[in-house]
Amino acid sequence: MIRVSVLYPKGDGSTFNMDYYKTKHRQICFDVMPGLEKMDVEAGIDGPYEAVGHLYFGDMATMGAAMGGPRIGEAEADLQNYTNIVPVIQISQSID
């Protein structure tokens, strides 16, 4: 399993609309990324991140096709609708 973590660092003046992310952005991701199996989000309580989104794919090929697909720009453009934070991306492989 491949997990793409999208980390939104806290900062002065940073904003993050969790309701929009959960109800609208998540659906956009499923719509534009074929092979996306699961997506969840964490709200930061203590630590360096305002929020973290996790996207799960079966393998690297599926993730690569989804992240490089023709509609990925729709998900990227939607960022401005829920945050002013520039996210940090981490790609990981589950080893359990």
Query: What are the angstrom distances between the C-alpha of 36 and each of 48, 59, 61?
Result: 27, 10, 12
Average pLDDT over every residue of 57-69: 96
Residue 96, pLDDT above cutoff 80: no
Query: How many domains, in total, are found in the chain?
Result: 1
Query: What are the angstrom distances between the C-alpha of 2 and each of 6, 8, 25, 41, 65?
Result: 13, 19, 20, 16, 13
pTM listed for this prediction = 0.92
- 31 CB-side CA count, 13 A: 12
Residue 94, pLDDT above cutoff 90: no
Q: Which CATH number is 51's domain given?
A: 3.30.70.100
Sequence-distant (≥ 6) Cβ neighbours of residue 94 within 8 angstroms = 1, 2, 3
Q: Which domain holds residue 33?
A: 2-93
The Cα–Cα gap between 90 and 5 comes to 5
- Model confidence over 6-60: pLDDT tens digits? 999 999 999 999 999 999 999 999 999 999 999 999 999 999 999 999 999 999 9
